[in-house]
Structure formats: C-alpha cells, structure tokens
Amino acid sequence: MSPIHVETKGWSQCSAARRIATSRLLKQVFLLSAIVSSLGAIAGASAQTETTAGKFYRITGGKVDARTYHGYRLYQGSCSHCHGPDGMGSTFATPLVDHLPEADAFRRIVSGGQSSGTSVMKGFAEDPNIAPYIDDIYAYLQARADGALGRGRPIKSAP
C-alpha cells in the first residue's frame, strides 16, 4: 500500500510541476503568438495601404509609381494611335478605360492579338519594347479604369 501511495504522491507532485511548467510555457507561447499576430497586423496594414490587392498601380499623393508611369509611356507610344489618347478609344478601336479586361485576358490579348471580322489587332509577343512590360501598361490602364488617374501625363513619384 505504502509504496503505491508514495508513487501516487510522487506522480501527482510531478504532474503538478508539469502543470505549472506547461502553463508557463502556454503563457509564453500565448505571449509570443500575440506579438507575432500584432506584428502581422501591422505589416498587413502597411502592405494594404501601399498596394491594394489586385491593383497593379500605386498612387501616392497624386503621383504614380515607376511602373504605372512606364505603362503610360508605352501606351502613348504603341497603343494610343488606335485606342485613343488616355485609353479613351478612337474610330479604330474600343476604349480600354471603359471595359478593361481582367489582367490574364489582357496579357493574352496584347501578346497574341485579337480580331473580329475586319477589326484586327496584331499581337505584341515579338515586340521587345512591349512584351516584357504588358503588366506596366495594365497598371496604367487599371488606374485610368478605376478613376484613380485622370487624363494626360501622370506625375511620377520620386523613386
């Protein structure tokens, strides 16, 4: 009887000690996860103010980021003579600001071209000035389509 009793006591002491250790550990883990999650919230918040999900452009204080500005330059050089100044459309082609396709469709159309009947746009896949920068053009047109950017030459923010 007695050895069992001692053993039980020993076990219960041990378990009490373990419980204290565990609760201390839990507190530390809890504290740590609270710190991590608040850091995450801070990082998430600042990331959100910088780039809204799904947006290719960034506009701060009325000034556009380098990508969007580059997109504007490319658009003016290679697209505006058909799609009109500032994406407003022309007699040759539809305005892009009114109904801008989703990014994936846009990439596909601009690379591969698109046609319906006599209305034809050639693809830019072989154009070294355009093919690598289709997303830049998208950033510019997306900002225009969202109404975040007006007509005319945008102002580029300092790098």
Binding site for ligand HEC (CB under 6 A): 78-79, 81-83, 92-94, 96, 99, 101, 106, 109-110, 114-116, 119-121, 124, 130, 137
What is the rounded CA–CA span in Å between residue 13 and residue 147? 69
Distance from chain centroid for Cα 94: 27
- Buried-exposed string 88-117: b where 16+ CB fall within 10 A, e elsewhere: ebeeebebbbeebeeeeebbeebeeeeeee
Give whichever of 94 and 157 is closer to ligand HEC, judged by the CB atom.
94
How many residues does this entry show for the chain?
159
Task: Give the shortest CB-127-to-ligand HEC separation in angstroms.
Answer: 8
Task: Give the shortest CB-29-to-ligand HEC separation in angstroms.
Answer: 51
Give whichever of 56 and 124 is closer to ligand HEC, judged by the CB atom.
124
Task: Give the shortest CB-88-to-ligand HEC separation in angstroms.
Answer: 13
Task: Give the shortest CB-101-to-ligand HEC separation in angstroms.
Answer: 5
Give whichever of 44 and 112 is closer to ligand HEC, judged by the CB atom.
112
Q: Note whether 126 and 110 are within 8 A (CB).
A: no
